[in-house]
A and B are shown apart, each in its own frame.
Chain A
Amino acid sequence: MIVIDPLRQRIHNGLRNGEENILNNARGNYGNDNDVRELLELYSEARMNIITSEPSYVSDSRKYIFIDLTPFDRVGKIEKIITQLNESRDVRPVIMYMSPAVDSQIKAIKTETPIICIAYSGIGNLIDITNGTSRLDNNLVIQVRRDIESLGIENNIVHFRRWIAQQRLTNMLIEGDGLYVPVKDQNSKTIIYTAGRYYKRMPNKMLVSSYIELKKLARNVEQLTEVAYEVILELACHFRRDIDAFDEFDVIVVPNNTALFIASAIQAILEKEVIPIDRLGPVPRLPRQRQKIKKMLGGKKCVVLEEVVATGNELDRTVLFLSDMDVEVQKIIAIYNLEVGKAMIPEAGKLISLCSPKKEINYVYRSD
């Protein structure tokens, strides 16, 4: 499934231009000529990818691309956007939205080809998938409904977006140069061959079948925005309209430099403070910086951002340290969770993993 996120593109432009208040501006003012042009370009590119990747004998009536307009309360030039997107007959747009105002805007549009829409309620529940009256469109609506149901997830924007995040972030690992896989190297003392495959020996002496190099993956700032956007969706509770999600935490805490790297983009977008508490040892005390960090953090509500969770040990140390600092942990977001172990200290339900690629990358963590 392909989802185009106009908000993400707008955020990326805001970062490129060094703007203030990027997220609010992007959500509040979407739909100028530049936005329309970029959306059409993205759609055209995605459409070409679909067309060129499938054999020509496959029926073309069931191809579609989601356009996620759920973050927006209003969309400028929406008639122009939808009319032009709808000109594509071989790959159809499916418009996702949440706002009643966007619903009114869409219903006011008269097009030759009916518009396929997925409407969500203010708390993110799927209300309906609507269409026009032609037989061709009925088939497409049925197809979309079946495809979503086949995911085996609840009919809610949160679950749907999390499913998309899982696919996206896994693809980024594999296609985006973010996964290091050890291969034969006679000059290296840390590449070990055992049980039929190569492993990398880590500083803690354990062997891993691969290593997620998020630093390398996010080197490309467009991919960095993509990763940051998935985190922001979680922080925003997928833009549910019944809560002000960004009021529920004060700061973002990161336990290492790579998480800080990702969080720096998030800080630039949300203008929420990011505080690194790296170099926590086995007994997390940080004696020198304690007073200063306590002054920065004490009494605040935080979200912890981990770039990769494997055994959960780093997460345990982080949460323990924060508890000692009198900090309330609202949420823990792990971009990748390799599910090797389980963090014991965080409260149940607080950890959200955006992508668990253990099965897809056949990840193994073992001793000699």
Chain B
Amino acid sequence: MSINCKISVTADTAIPAVARIIARTAPARLANVCRTPLVSFVRRHLAANGRNKRGWPSTGFWERASRSVQSTASDRGVLILVNQVGVRQRYYGGRITAVNRAMLTIPISPLSYGKTAREFPGSFILRTPKGAWIVQYATKNVFTKAQTTTIRGGRMNRRAVGATFNFLFKLVQSVDQAGDPSVMPSDDEMTAVAWTAITKELGASWEK
């Protein structure tokens, strides 16, 4: 015995629904889904890097880095760019050498932190056997008598020198900075954020 069976489709709701889900999982769209939460995550991570370890008045470096974040989404993925001088140096570390000047000026005082030497009128270079500094005459001196006796017994009176000058910058030819990958979120953290966004989006799509 043979049975002929004819199936006619009176209403196809499966294929359009599947097509909708496929469209929502297109790479370009998923990149769009991931971009905004990834940008927020990176910006807040940068902002949370906090102030300088010495507790000096903040230059706002990490806030500026956070504000500099740019992004694009395409079918190739999400590109997040931290468009700020210095961030890559902090991430990878390395040697910093003077480019347009003979020496680097390293701020060694909360007065000079975040400033250039030119912003201190009257400052000058003080050379000692231990190195060279950019200093400025201090306006307030605790040891007024010591000002006149900077050399005592043939040796430098360090207390007097310290009281006489504000030491602003140390002059060096180069510095070596250790890298710190924690200044940016890790790949695992970024993946988790992207995955959460995608599953939330696909979950919502499926319910529709």
**Is B one of A's binding partners?**
no
- By a beta-carbon cutoff of 8 Å, the part of chain B in contact with chain A is none
